[in-house]
Structure 1
Amino acid sequence: MLERTFCHLKGIGSTTEAKIWQAGANSWNDILDGVATPLSDAKMNELEKGCGESKQKLEAYDANWFADRLPASDQWRMYSHFRDNVAYIDIETTGTDAHSCDITTIALWNGKEIKTYVQGKNLYDFEEEIAKYPLIVSFNGKCFDVPFIEKYFGIKVDAAHIDLRFVFRSLGITGGLKGIERYFGMDRGDAEGLDGYFAVLLWNEYEMNGDERALETLLAYNVLDSVNLENLMIKGYNLHIERFSQHDLTPLAEKPEPLNPFRAHREVVDGIRAKYSGESSFRRF
């Protein structure tokens, strides 16, 4: 879809892009080959330059160039071209304020390997790892995960970023990550029912009592948040291309869910629920 995209170019919005397609120019190559459009000569010259530059940036694997120019609702168009080197990331924290709270764990799935990072163990190894990827995929990461990471580590995350919250919102599918997973019938197994606030309680149980089962449960939950992003991204991509049937685009195949190296200990979950169920602090955030 990216090579059929014009709305990232100066002066081209979705309406003009549609007119270009209707004229029979369905790709950058069509424009460069001289297919006529209803644009003025001056705009056509700019369009030809933009298409030439777009080809060069794609050949250079420059995801950031496209991310800087595509609206958030259209950044899904990059995915199929950069999906071989993507980091699907999710963080867990002690709260929602990046200025006063800490990152406890991070899960990263790259389509081949699950990597986890834990405060007090290997958390700072994440800095080196995330720098390897030209594209990251998250859910609400533009508002939460990436600003938190940048503040906590004192770094700039330079990768292009597709935030699934906006991918699905532009399809009329709203809600949080777990709600959208339920919308698509995705099963979280033993981690079903856990949420961000419970992740805080699991970390507290591990930190205060040294319960490794609590840490493993937290990591099992964190990993699910990360690995599920891949098939959610594919689902979102496929739903979007259905709206462009004139281009005869091929849907992407979903991936088998990788084996989670961690498991949720239900006895720990039940114990925490019993411990906090009578307190007003036992809530979702």
Structure 2
Amino acid sequence: MLFHTFCHIPSIGEKTERKIWQEGIFNWDDALTDPLFRKILPGNISDRAYSMVARSYEKIEKKDIRFFTEKFHNFNRWRIFSHFRSQAVFLDIETSGLNPPNDYITVITLFDGKKIKTYVHGINMADFIDDIYHYQIIITFNGKCFDLPFIERYFDMKLPHIHFDLRFMLKSMGLSGGLKVCEKSLGIDRGKLKGIDGYMAVLLWQKYLEGCTEALETLIAYNVEDTVNLEKLMVYFYNFKVSELSFPHLALEEPRKKIQIASRIYPEVINEIRYEKLRFLKKGRV
């Protein structure tokens, strides 16, 4: 979609951009080769716009993502995703509770569409600091309010990355609710992990601390599932938006339905923590 975009050019908004498309200037190549592009725009804008299109090509070659994101309104930054997908990583965390600094991150998963990397508190969490800098874009669900502040506090660092928060992106197209609700709306099946939530993830960690390694494996599998499914949500959002702009041919291929997860899922452990959660809820009603 990026090559079809003109609203990053100063003085060109979405209304003018649509007019450019309607006149048959569909992409940057058209803008640089068809004299009509300059005629569509007022004289004081046309030269600057032409120069900006040429400069945009240069910035893409240099992988200067911020050149575009700093010029887009937040609701248009999604347009860079397809072109800079290799620079993006999906991220999700689990924690020991919701109250830092008393609580801490237990598991982090990164997924770049090909590789899955998982980091566990007390095992390999320090590796995350180096690995996250391999990417320029972080994609989360509710990461603005939860994941990223927790990470920055936990590691005492500031993440300079461009951030896409799918919670708000999906809400802009009418899909609201938590991650599991959005997944269900799109027909994503979590299989054996169906029904596990954030509170149960805390219980899994506690069970691991008591010596149950199967609980840790199940927790990792749950966190990986959360992270991998973010790609499906991002692609769904991207395809919805390009179709909305009348460029349906730019839709991305849907991600693989199921990705092999290395960690095992232990149904008996899940049943135990379901019982613990139910017992806690009943106690709360007394």
Summarize the Cα distance change of 1:191–1:248 in structure 2 as closer, same or farther, 3 Å threshold: closer
Query: Residue 10 of structure 2 aligns with which residue?
Result: 10
Q: Residues 270, 236 of structure 1: CA spacing in aligned structure 2 closer, same or farther, 3 A cutoff?
A: same
Q: 1:66 to 1:119 in 2, by over 3 A?
A: same
Show the counterpart of 1:242: 243
Cα displacement (A) at 1:100: 4.2
Task: Give structure 1 stretches of 5+ with no counterpart.
Answer: none
The answer on whether the counterparts of 2:239 and 2:248 sit within 8 Å (CA) in structure 1 is no
Q: Which residue is equivalent to 2:276?
A: 275
CA–CA separation in structure 1 for the residues paired with 2:98 and 2:71: 29
Q: Mean Cα displacement is larger for which, 52-61 or 156-165?
A: 156-165
State the distance in 1 between where 2:225 and 2:137 align.
Answer: 19
**Residues in 1 aligned to 2:177 and 2:217: alpha-carbon distance in whole angstroms:** 27
Contact 1:108 1:115 in 2 (8 A): yes
1:37 offset after TM fit, Å? 4.9
What is the distance in 2 between the residues matched to 1:97 and 1:48? 51
- Matched AA of 1:156: K
Alignment of 1:215 onto 2:216: yes
Cα contact 1:220–1:263 (8 A) shared by 2:
yes
**Deviations along 1:103-139, whole A, 9 cap, x unmatched?**
1100111222211000001011001001001222221
The question of whether the paired residues in 2 share the 8 Å contact of 1:67 and 1:161 is answered with: no
Change (3 A) 1:57 1:228: same
Contact 2:235/2:254, CA 8 A, preserved across alignment = yes
CA distance in 2, matches of 1:163, 1:90: 11
1:280 Cα shift? 4.2
Structural mapping, 1:159-178, within 5 Å: 159-178=161-180
Please name the residue that 1:116 is paired with.
Answer: 118
**Structure 1 counterpart of 2:217, one-letter code:** E
Matches within 5 A, 1:61-140: 61-140=63-142
CA RMSD for the aligned pairs?
2.1
- Distance change >3 Å, CA 174–CA 36, structure 1 → 2: same
Per-residue CA deviation, residues 74-110 of structure 1 (Å, 9 max, x unaligned), is: 2221111112342111111123345443111001112
Assess, with a 3 A threshold, how the Cα gap between structure 1 residues 86 and 17 changes in structure 2: closer, same or farther.
same
Structure 2 unmatched ranges of 5 or more: none
Structure-2 separation of matches of 1:282 and 1:182: 29
CA contact (8 A) 1:90 1:145 kept: yes
Checking the alignment, whether the CA contact within 8 Å between 2:200 and 2:277 is kept in structure 1 is no
CA positional deviation for 1:221:
0.5
Partner residue, 1:227: 228
Equivalent residue letter for 1:12: I
* Residue 146 (structure 2) aligned to one of 144, 147, 153: 144
The letter for the 2-side match of 1:264 is I
* Cα offset, 1:141, TM superposition: 1.8
Specify whether residues 64 and 268 from structure 1 end up closer, same or farther in structure 2 by C-alpha distance, changes over 3 A only.
same
- Per the normalisation by structure 1, the TM-score is 0.90
C-alpha offsets along residues 233-253 of structure 1, whole Å, 9 cap, x if unaligned? 2122111111122x4533211
Identical-residue share of aligned pairs (%): 43
SS where residue 93 of structure 2 aligns?
strand
Please state how far the C-alpha of 1:273 moved relative to its aligned partner: 2.4
Question: How many pairs align?
Answer: 281
Q: Which amino acid aligns with 1:270?
A: N
Q: Give 1:15's aligned amino acid.
A: K
Taking the aligned partners of 1:99 and 1:53, their CA distance within structure 2 comes to 45
Q: Shift in Å at residue 188 of structure 1?
A: 0.6
- Partner of residue 198, structure 2: 196
Tell me the SS of whatever aligns to 1:81.
coil
